[in-house]
């Protein structure tokens, strides 16, 4: 069997990450979805990544990256500019390991997020009008205070950490035919794709994004990283650019993801409602895009195949969740 390799990140790196994070990150369940399987005409399994302490899969990459720090780096602490799932993950991982964390946010970030980050013991730097300003503040903190930046996705240790999801899938379902996950900056599907394609190149990897503001999708179409406008969406965790100087995820997604598709807001609502109705779980919009894509036949699966949908996170306001699903319950 021909192996697929990436020059920088290897399958061995993912196995090392699995060992590294095992003290903090516990294996998540793989749940068979009877109703969705009957609808799709294929076996559908759900990978419950929303049950991590931080509420999302991002804990894997954050823990792995922080564990790679030298003793000197640990003394100074870490910083990141994500205010979503990665920001929560870095704050929580740093708290568990007794390391200082500074999360940079713009002044437009909701107060509720401020309180959640502070509740995890992290420091807040409120700076500028947008995510780019917050990112710039991280680089300033690197120079001023010696903090180590833990990027949200375009980082070898983060990608390797997310790839441990695929190792668990293969352990529980070695005959898997495809994996479906949300596609944003690409950290998740870079890691998952690396593992799956090196295990068996015929395993398919599908990426799903929202219709407007899908930076990786548009970048793949253009053949280079591009900037897109952000729009209000239920899948807000999938917003954000991939970076003009993307070093890893753009090329890895291009290599490992077989197909990337877009879903509209109604399809996302259907996915959220389905998971609540059939599995009694509350998830954010980004975690429901794959389910919606199957329900609305945006992704077609071959009969009698075994397919996994990654349920990525549950960090959603309950009022927003109720408003999204009420038309389908």
* Residue 6 belongs to a domain: no
Asked whether residue 271 falls in the same domain as residue 319, the answer is yes
| Other residues' Cβ atoms within 10 Å of the Cβ of residue 226 | 16
Asked whether residue 64 falls in the same domain as residue 191, the answer is no
Asked whether residue 50 falls in the same domain as residue 63, the answer is no
Asked whether residue 161 falls in the same domain as residue 144, the answer is no
Element spanning 252, H or E: helix 249-256
Q: Band of the pLDDT at 185, cuts 50, 70, 90?
A: very high
pLDDT (average), residues 125-144: 86
CA distances from 120 to 107, 113, 117, 207, 285 (A): 19, 11, 5, 31, 23
Report the domain count for the chain.
2
pLDDT (average), residues 74-89: 90
pLDDT of 232? 87
* Residue 248 belongs to a domain: yes
Asked whether residue 252 falls in the same domain as residue 135, the answer is no
Asked whether residue 253 falls in the same domain as residue 123, the answer is no
Of 97, 128, 149, the residue that ends a domain is 149
Asked whether residue 85 falls in the same domain as residue 124, the answer is yes
Q: Which domain holds residue 214?
A: 11-56+156-325
Q: What is the CATH number of the domain that holds 271?
A: 3.40.50.1100
How is residue 125 written in tokens? 């730097």
* pTM of the full structure: 0.93
pLDDT of 3? 45
pLDDT of 2? 38
Rg of the chain (C-alpha set): 19
Of 90, 117, 149, the residue that ends a domain is 149
Of 93, 116, 149, the residue that ends a domain is 149
Distance between CA 181 and CA 186 in Å, rounded?
Answer: 10
Residue 51: which of 283, 293, 305 has the closest Cα? 283
Mean pLDDT of the chain: 92
pLDDT of 262? 98
pLDDT of 5? 46
């Amino acid at each position: 069997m021909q192996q697929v390799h990436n020059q920088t990140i290897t399958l061995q790196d993912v196995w090392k990450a699995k060992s590294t994070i095992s003290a903090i990150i516990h294996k998540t369940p793989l749940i068979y979805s009877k109703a969705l399987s009957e609808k799709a005409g294929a076996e559908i399994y759900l990978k419950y990544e929303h049950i991590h302490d931080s509420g999302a899969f991002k804990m894997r990459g954050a823990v792995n990256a922080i564990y790679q720090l030298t003793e000197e780096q640990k003394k100074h602490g870490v910083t990141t500019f994500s205010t979503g799932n990665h920001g929560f993950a870095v704050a929580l991982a740093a708290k568990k390991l007794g390391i200082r964390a500074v999360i940079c946010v713009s002044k437009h970030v909701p107060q509720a997020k401020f309180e959640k980050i502070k509740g995890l013991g992290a420091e807040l730097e409120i700076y500028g009008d947008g995510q780019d300003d917050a990112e710039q503040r991280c680089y300033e903190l690197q120079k001023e205070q010696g903090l180590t930046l833990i990027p949200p996705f375009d980082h070898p240790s983060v990608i390797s950490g997310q790839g441990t999801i695929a190792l668990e899938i293969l352990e529980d379902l070695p005959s898997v035919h495809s994996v479906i996950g949300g596609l944003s900056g690409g950290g998740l599907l870079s890691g998952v794709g690396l593992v799956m394609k090196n295990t068996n190149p015929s395993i398919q990897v599908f990426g799903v994004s929202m219709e407007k503001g899908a930076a990786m999708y548009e970048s793949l179409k253009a053949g280079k990283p591009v900037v897109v406008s952000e729009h209000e969406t239920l899948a807000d965790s999938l917003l954000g650019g991939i970076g003009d100087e993307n070093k890893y995820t753009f090329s890895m997604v291009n290599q490992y993801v077989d197909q990337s598709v877009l879903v509209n807001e109604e399809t996302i609502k259907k996915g959220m409602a389905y998971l609540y109705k059939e599995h009694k779980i509350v998830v954010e919009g980004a975690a429901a895009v794959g389910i919606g894509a199957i329900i609305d036949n945006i992704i077609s699966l071959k009969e009698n195949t075994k397919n996994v949908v990654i349920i990525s996170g549950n960090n959603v306001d309950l009022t927003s969740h109720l408003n999204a699903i009420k038309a389908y319950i």
